[in-house]
Structure formats: C-alpha cells, structure tokens
C-alpha cells in the first residue's frame, strides 16, 4: 500500500479546503483502505 495522508476535518469548510484533485472523502462503511491495498485507488 502506498503512503497517504489522513486529514480529520471537523467542519464542511475544513473538508472542502483540504480537498485536492486526487483526494477522496472517507465515510462510514467506505472500503477505501481495501481499495488502496489492491492499488485500485490512489488518493493523496
């Protein structure tokens, strides 16, 4: 799995400010980490 940065935004404005072209939002039930392990997703 590639290294990544996790940002815990507590407000909508923080989440929007931290978002980049290759970012992904993570919410309950999301299997983003599994997709990253399989090299399907590559967020910053």
Domains in the chain: boundaries:
10-44
> Mean pLDDT of all residues in the chain?
81
User: Model confidence over 12-23: pLDDT tens digits?
Assistant: 999 999 898 888
Q: Based on the number of CB atoms within 10 Å of its own CB, is 38 exposed (0-12), middle (13-18) or buried (19 or more)?
A: exposed
As a whole number of Å, the CA-based R_g of the chain is 11
- Residue position matching structure tokens 């299997």: 31
Euclidean distance between CA atoms 22 and 44, whole angstroms: 6
Q: Kindly report whether the global pTM for this prediction surpasses the value 0.75.
A: no
């Amino acid at each position: 799995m590639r290294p990544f940065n996790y940002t815990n935004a507590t407000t909508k404005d923080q989440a929007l400010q931290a978002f980049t072209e290759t970012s992904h939002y993570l919410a309950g039930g999301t299997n983003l980490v599994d997709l990253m392990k399989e090299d399907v997703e590559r967020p910053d």
